[in-house]
Structure 1
């Protein structure tokens, strides 16, 4: 297991009534760090804070009325104080700054990658110290490593957008992402499917190295196979589901960017012990690397981050990347931090 931590530590969050801790795996060994302030009760109360991160510009299918007396900023400070800061203080990081999170249950709804007291200073937050990724298990990480490092793929993009949604779902403003992606890839390397049916998308996915979904999405309670993205067929809602992806064969080193709400958040309490959500399912079944959103995706922020991300990925050749590796997590981390610094107070980008 320690061999898997050569590029950065693997941190598993365990939260129980009797005890909560973080199991940290590094090159040097395995250690347990107690997290007494992280309890099922406090997780439950703060989960409502992050679940309420919604506004008319954000993209989810279900919009439950959730109220909380705690602000998002206070929630991020709390998560930093009780979990992420103690973990980073007791964990030997590598020069890459990479860290892999394994979460389950209520902890799977927490944005550990974004935790911080941003008002206190530039070093009092997770993004200033680490480049985060989420994985479902150590076994899943080993499987990905055994396949070899992701190479720089061909610069081809499939863009799937749902600007107009069938009733009762509200329309989305995907203009930001359409313009950003068009500017980076150009017409000759881009296929834009606007308001497609699932069959058309599935037919085209294997032909492209990058697939960007700008649409509504949600995790469906009780049935992970029905988790998916809202498309349309003959004017009525039609989902592109996890089950639909099982039989398609993708290009090696394919990358999916799912710019929709709830794609990286566990929403079903009955499956709380399982690391099941849309982004991880996309990776397990099909794509080499997947970018998902944990809270509501803001239209303008989504477009700006996508533009910065794809510019970085397209500008990095084999020589600059080192061994031809496509470091998506690093490029995303840089894109988010650049946008955050350029847009003070816009914490939506941390999602």
Structure 2
């Protein structure tokens, strides 16, 4: 009501109070399913709160509200990995207990034996009750431990949202564009190391004919039909091209104009021009990284390309906080976890796990998947290959813990209506179930570096929870992977092989006097950008190249 009478200051106070309650909705005393259900009831709240703040002339508040109200589950995971150096110095026993309790809360959802529970329903009910009570007890203890930590000198903000100045540091290598969508207004908050600018997007609307909701629904429906028939593929291509042009006109074009001229695709001697997209709401389901006009309308009146991939190397992040956390050197993180850090591309903590699911029971064969994994094994020394019956759900989960790189080549899926519907299909999926978003999210992989999911729909989120990154790529980041490459829709098998080939060519670091050649995860964004440009040279159909995204620093 306050916003309706344009009393934006009062409305801002109300929205700020509502956003502050979200951590209670997703309290760590609840299991993951209950937390997701609770957050689903607050969809759009953060976007509306940011819009109210902008109407009140408070862009800094708008950014903080988006950081508080989005990526709540990711923030909880980051809390568990936050730098506890100061706390450990002042109260080592308290720091140790916080890590112990957090580890239990992270793993509690996976503590039951699915096979045993299915055979004994009464045991299942009993185990669930015991586990729920134990979770609530430890969640209450965790709240008390954090309260005690905040009473110590210099730790009043322990596990709280970082300051805006710290968040802006995430934009040290290039601008971060937070695109907020709300029925009240739509804007881009352009974050750089030194400034925060607002770019109003008057032509981006949430509802109504031609609005975001309608266009997102049309595109997602069309992409879901790719592969059924040539007619469906042609229709999807037409809709995708129209959507990419619209995204340029209403979002990317105005943002890039505000940023000023940028270099086109980087040459071998030029530092890449980086840009991070942080879309909110339904916009997070669309390929903003590929926005642009292609074909005869590709160039503007000044001859400059009217497309994002011709001007920037793009990545995605769920929040600024997540990006800031991912830019912390991993050797520092490993030291906090008690590890020795990465020993190099061929060392104990730098090994590649390659999963070949070219022949998955009950699913169409993917002959190129085997070729992908063979290509990797030839290029990367000491690659661990799991294929056929050896690539079981349990084996993949267990082997991941001792590897820094993951390449999964096989079938993936995401039900856009189901927040828990993302899955990778291992060899025994019909007996043990697929490898789900929830399974991966529970992992804590301190030495994880990069994952490449050569499987369809692995970066496609759930429409009911668009701000929580509830997809396989997001789950891998929750688990600890710094860089994730994934696809937003079904990709042709032969195209997937070329993409992997081109990507790993760019990811290989040449030999140095002090180190052999090996994989360099810091090259991930540029390697994917170059791979996509090579795919475009072979086939200008965006269905074959625009699906791929990079998430991370």
Q: What is the CA deviation profile of residues 30-79 of structure 1, one whole-angstrom value per residue up to 9, with x for unaligned ones? A: 11111122212322232222442243399xxxxx99x8795221211111
State the number of aligned residues.
Answer: 340
CA gap of 1:318–1:296, structure 2 versus 1, over 3 A, is farther
Aligned pairs for 1:131-142 within 5 A = 131-142=313-324
> Quick check: 98-107 or 175-184, which moved more?
175-184
Aligned pairs for 1:10-25 within 5 A = 10-25=176-191
Aligned pairs for 1:135-150 within 5 A = 135-148=317-330
Aligned pairs for 1:109-148 within 5 A = 109-119=285-295, 120-121=298-299, 123-148=305-330
Question: Would the aligned equivalents of 2:437 and 2:470 in 1 still touch at CA under 8 Å?
Answer: no
CA RMSD of aligned residues (A): 3.3
Counterpart of 1:52 in structure 2 is 222
Counterpart of 2:541 in structure 1 is 345
Correspondence 1:184 to 2:379: yes
CA gap of 1:178–1:35, structure 2 versus 1, over 3 A, is same
Shift of residue 18, structure 1, vs aligned partner: 2.2
Q: What is the CA deviation profile of residues 325-347 of structure 1, one whole-angstrom value per residue up to 9, with x for unaligned ones? A: 72211111111112212334364
Aligned pairs for 1:144-159 within 5 A = 144-148=326-330, 153-154=345-346, 156-159=351-354
Structure 1 distance, partners of 2:393, 2:492, is 24
Question: Would the aligned equivalents of 1:2 and 1:27 in 2 still touch at CA under 8 Å?
Answer: yes
Instruction: Pick the aligned partner of 2:486 from 283, 287, 292.
Output: 292
Shift of residue 12, structure 1, vs aligned partner: 0.8
Shift of residue 244, structure 1, vs aligned partner: 2.6
Question: Would the aligned equivalents of 1:218 and 1:228 in 2 still touch at CA under 8 Å?
Answer: yes
Structure 2 distance, partners of 1:347, 1:318, is 38
Where does the alignment leave 5 or more consecutive residues of structure 2 unmatched?
A: 1-166, 264-270, 333-341, 548-553
CA gap of 1:21–1:249, structure 2 versus 1, over 3 A, is closer
- What SS does the aligned partner of 1:287 have? coil
CA gap of 1:146–1:235, structure 2 versus 1, over 3 A, is closer
Larger % of helix: which?
A: 2
Aligned pairs for 1:76-87 within 5 A = 76-87=244-255
- What SS does the aligned partner of 1:38 have? coil
Structure 1 distance, partners of 2:500, 2:242, is 27
Q: What is the CA deviation profile of residues 94-131 of structure 1, one whole-angstrom value per residue up to 9, with x for unaligned ones? A: 96311111122210111011111121247221111111
Correspondence 1:277 to 2:447: no
Aligned pairs for 1:191-230 within 5 A = 191-195=385-389, 196-220=391-415, 224=419, 227-230=422-425
Correspondence 1:43 to 2:212: yes
Question: Would the aligned equivalents of 2:284 and 2:467 in 1 still touch at CA under 8 Å?
Answer: no
Correspondence 1:255 to 2:421: no
Counterpart of 1:171 in structure 2 is 365
Shift of residue 247, structure 1, vs aligned partner: 5.5
Shift of residue 225, structure 1, vs aligned partner: 5.1
Instruction: Pick the aligned partner of 1:32 from 164, 186, 198.
Output: 198
Question: Would the aligned equivalents of 1:305 and 1:335 in 2 still touch at CA under 8 Å?
Answer: yes
Question: Would the aligned equivalents of 1:19 and 1:36 in 2 still touch at CA under 8 Å?
Answer: yes
Shift of residue 271, structure 1, vs aligned partner: 1.4
CA gap of 1:231–1:303, structure 2 versus 1, over 3 A, is same
Larger % of strand: which?
A: 1
Structure 2 distance, partners of 1:206, 1:79, is 39
Structure 2 distance, partners of 1:3, 1:251, is 23
CA gap of 1:149–1:280, structure 2 versus 1, over 3 A, is farther
- What SS does the aligned partner of 1:159 have? strand
Counterpart of 2:427 in structure 1 is 232
- The higher radius of gyration belongs to 2
CA gap of 1:51–1:262, structure 2 versus 1, over 3 A, is farther
Normalised by the length of structure 2, the TM-score is 0.55
- What SS does the aligned partner of 1:40 have? coil
- What SS does the aligned partner of 2:508 have? helix
Counterpart of 2:532 in structure 1 is 336
Counterpart of 2:119 in structure 1 is none
- What SS does the aligned partner of 2:464 have? helix
Q: What is the CA deviation profile of residues 149-199 of structure 1, one whole-angstrom value per residue up to 9, with x for unaligned ones? A: 8976436422213223333x433332442343244336x534242352210
- What SS does the aligned partner of 1:133 have? strand
- What SS does the aligned partner of 1:71 have? helix
CA gap of 1:194–1:156, structure 2 versus 1, over 3 A, is farther
